[in-house]
């Protein structure tokens, strides 16, 4: 029972923290980035991106550990397993979008490799896909709550 509780707490709070960190990035930093001229944004990003990147492992690790443990412990319960599988799929989708789009885009922004006339459009795309990541992490957290509350 104690391990189940620990894994459930890690899964739910980790996914919720991940959603919260991404929400702060999107709302606070996203609005700030959009207020900057393209060169100013690239300059800011090249100097500060590492600060944003440093926080992510602190929320992803608990989410992944908690989801894996919760899924394992709930494997014999069809409904629980399904809820934890979908919650896990949400976080895996967040990571897939992150690795496929956001990390390469971040590297381009940090290297100032995006032409100035394309910065605004690329940032808009970045923020749109970032919104998807926020929703997916939030859904993962909600599904975890549903899994333990039923």
Could you write out the DSSP letters of every residue in 90-129? HHHHHHHHIIIIIHHHHHHHHTT-S-HHHHHHHHHHHHHH
Structural domain count of the chain: 1
For 1-5, 103-107, 115-119, 131-135, which range has the lowest pLDDT when averaged over its residues? 1-5
Tokens 């609005």 correspond to what residue?
Answer: 31
Entry pTM: 0.94
pLDDT at site 99: 97
Interval 2-57: pLDDT, tens: 999 999 999 999 999 999 999 999 999 999 999 999 999 999 999 999 998 999 99
Q: Is 13 exposed, middle or buried (0-12, 13-18, 19+ CB in 10 A)?
A: middle
Range of the domain at 85: 2-149
pLDDT at site 130: 99
- CA dihedral (101, 132, 14, 85) positive or negative: negative
Interval 85-110: pLDDT, tens: 999 999 999 999 999 999 999 999 99
């Amino acid at each position: 029972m104690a391990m189940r509780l620990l894994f459930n707490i890690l899964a739910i709070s980790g996914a919720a923290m991940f959603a919260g960190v991404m929400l702060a990035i999107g709302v606070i930093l996203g609005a700030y980035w959009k207020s900057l001229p393209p060169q100013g944004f690239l300059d800011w990003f090249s100097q500060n991106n590492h600060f944003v990147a440093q926080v992510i492992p602190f929320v992803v690790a608990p989410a992944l550990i908690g989801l894996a443990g919760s899924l394992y412990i709930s494997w014999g319960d069809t409904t629980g397993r399904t809820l934890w599988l979908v919650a896990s799929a949400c976080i895996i989708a967040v990571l897939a979008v992150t690795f496929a789009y956001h990390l390469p885009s971040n590297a381009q922004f940090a290297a100032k490799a995006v032409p100035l006339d394309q910065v605004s459009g690329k940032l808009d795309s970045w923020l749109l896909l970032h919104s998807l990541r926020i929703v997916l992490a939030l859904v993962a957290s909600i599904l975890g709550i549903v899994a333990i509350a039923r």
